[in-house]
Amino acid sequence: MKVVLFCGGYGMRMRNGADDLIPKPMQMIGNRPLIWHVMRYYAHFGHTDFILCLGYGAAAIKNYFLAYQEALSNDFVIRDGQVELLQSDISDWSITFVDTGTESPIGERLRRVSRFVADDEYFLANYADVLTDAPMNDIIAEVRANGAAASMLVVPPQSSFHCLELSDSGVVSGISAVSQLPIWENGGFFVLSRAVLDLLTEDCDLVEDVCAKLAADGLLYGYKHLGFWKPADTFKERADLDAAYQRGEAPWMLWENRAS
């Protein structure tokens, strides 16, 4: 199943000093960039046909894969001056690089690559800035079984803020942690059918325009995930993921048992 990755935004909430020119998908977690971790997650489930919706920082992403160094994350042998890899990360991957504009909203980016997925019953999509241990193939099976036109992974609220019950006179009658409220957030992992492509209009938003229309028609499915899920939308969030990786606590890396 093809995987569309939206990796062309400015990533303004990720900006931090000297790293300002590095696009968000290329921010490092361990010795590999964020986008690599997202792609390895999908590859773990057998989905290795990727379509990258490029925009800001496109050259950095292209150059990374054009000069990809397998030896950074694979064991190898040097014999008679030649490198023999014992494993490979991306040798069986297909990666299509498409310029979808620097200012394009997500729906417009998908519209500009629609020709690559138009013949598929379902395809996958992702913001390329979120990591999870969600069982992707189980999600796909549930979407098919429900006959949904689209689905999104939904997760409990991640905010540490509190909500107040407040009277008109300003008296607080209750305090609740956002994380305890009976609401769900969009987790950024989509399973989409080709019917979604018919709803795309110029400069539309995938969630607010397309998914909202499907929800109104009862055609949007939400897969509730209570396991690991963490975005890398800000510098701090990316730093937290990197620190967890360095400690050997990387539950999103389903493709390897780091403890071993």
> C-alpha angle 221/229/219, rounded to 5°?
5
Cα 6 to Cα 9: distance, rounded to the nearest angstrom: 8
User: Which three-class secondary structure state does DSSP give residue 127?
Assistant: coil
pLDDT value at residue 239: 92
Confidence (pLDDT) at 257: 60
Which pLDDT score is estimated for 138? 97
Q: What is the pTM of this model?
A: 0.87
Q: What is the 3-state secondary structure (H, E, C) of 192-241?
A: EEHHHHHHCCCCCCHHHHHHHHHHHCCCEEEEECCCCEEECCCHHHHHHH
* 174 within 8 A of 159, measured Cβ to Cβ: no
- pLDDT tens for 130-171 read 999 999 999 999 999 999 999 999 998 876 677 788 888 888
- Mean pLDDT (the chain) is 89
Tell me which residue of 28, 10, 9 sits closest to 20, measured CA to CA.
10
Which CA distances in Å does 247 have to 37, 74, 213, 241, 257? 16, 19, 43, 10, 13
Token pair for residue 177? 């942690």
pLDDT tens, position by position, 13-55? 545 544 556 788 999 999 899 999 999 999 999 999 999 999 9
Fold that domain 2-156+184-246 belongs to in CATH: Spore Coat Polysaccharide Biosynthesis Protein SpsA; Chain A (3.90.550)
**What pLDDT sits at residue 259?**
38
